[in-house]
Amino acid sequence: MPSRRANFRIFPHDWHSTAYVSEWIARDVTRDDERRPEIQRMLAAAPFARDLPIYVLDVGAGYGVVTEEVFKAAPKAHVVLQDYSQTMLDRARERLRRRGKHLRTVLCDLTDPSWTKKVGGPFDLAVSAIALHNLGDRTKIFSCYRAIYSLLKPGGYFLDYDRFPGGVARHLAALRDAGFTRAECISENPSIAVLVAGPKTADPLPAAKAKLTARVDSPPAHRNSPIRKPSLRS
C-alpha cells in the first residue's frame, strides 16, 4: 500500500492525476471494514442466481471494489466498468486482472449523453457505490438514473450505495419516475444509504401491439409461467 502523505488535500478531486489517485486509494481502503459489508448487503438484494452469467454495469467503478464483490457474489458474471478516470480504470484492471474476458473497462463522462452508447448493454444489473454524488447537481444524477434504466434488460435492477446529503426521498421518487416499478432504501445512516430499484418492466407499447396482433390473427400462444430466481446470496 502506498504511504499516505500528511499534506494530502482530498478536495478538489483530481481523478486524472496518478499521484492523487494513488493517495486517494491508499486512504479509501482504510474504510473497507465499514463499506464492504454494505456493498455485500446491496448485492444480496439482486434477485439473480449465483451461477448465472449475468451482465453487469458498474457505474463510476473507480478502482474496482464493487466489481470485486460482484465476482464474489456471481463468479460467472460479465462486468463493464465505467469511469471518468483512466487512472482509476487502470488500477481496477490491475486489481481484477485474473477475470480476463469477463471484464471490460470504458472511459466516459456521465454528463455526456453519448456515454450509454459507449458502455453497450443491455445489462441484467447496474451497480454503483460512492460515485454518483460526485455529479453534484441532482438534475445530473436524476438524468443518470434515466440513462441507467434505459441500459437494463426487462427484469433488470439498479443498486446504489452512495451519499445522499438531502435524504433519499427525492432520489427514490426520481428512480420511480425513470420507470422502475419499485424503489426502496434498504439501509441508511446519516448521509449514506443503499437504494434498490427494479425490476425494469418491458416496453408496454410493443407488448400492447403484440397482444392486439395475437387477438386479430391467431389464438394467444401458451406461455410458461415465469420461474423466480434465487438471489445472489451465497
Q: What is the pLDDT of residues 41-62, one digit of tens each?
A: 999 999 999 999 999 999 999 9
Region 66-91: what's the mean pLDDT? Answer: 97
Tell me if 105 is assigned to some domain: yes
Domain membership flag for residue 227:
no
pLDDT for res 2: 47
Q: How far apart are alpha carbons 110 and 220 in whole angstroms?
A: 43
Domain-located, residue 224: no
* Mean pLDDT along residues 19-24: 79
All three cell numbers of 20, joined, read 492523487
In a domain, 228, yes or no: no
> Would the pTM count as exceeding 0.85?
no
Write out pLDDT tens, residues 139-182.
999 999 999 999 999 999 999 999 999 999 999 999 999 999 99
In the predicted model, is pLDDT for residue 211 greater than 60? Answer: no
Position 14 scores a pLDDT of 72
| 115 secondary structure, DSSP code | H
State which residues form the domain around 187: 18-217
Q: How far apart are CA 24 and CA 26, in angstroms?
A: 5
DSSP output for 84-105: S-HHHHHHHHHHTGGGGGGEEE
Q: Domain containing 158 — which CATH number? A: 3.40.50.150
Residue 126 has pLDDT above 90, yes or no: yes
Q: Is 162 helix (H, G, I), strand (E, B) or coil?
A: strand
User: What is the average pLDDT value for the chain, to the nearest integer?
Assistant: 85
Residue 169 in any domain: the answer is yes
Q: What was the pLDDT predicted at 203?
A: 59
Is 184 strand, coil or helix? strand
Domain-embedded: residue 213 = yes
Q: In this predicted structure, what is the pLDDT of residue 205?
A: 44
Residues 198-227, mean pLDDT to the nearest whole number: 49
Residue 157 contacts residue 46 (beta carbons within 8 Å): yes
Q: Are 102 and 114 in contact (CB under 8 A)?
A: no
Residue 7 falls inside a structural domain: no
Predicted confidence at residue 4, as pLDDT, reads 53
Quote the pLDDT of residue 32: 82
How many domains does the chain divide into?
Answer: 1
pLDDT score at 8: 62
Residue 226 domain flag: no
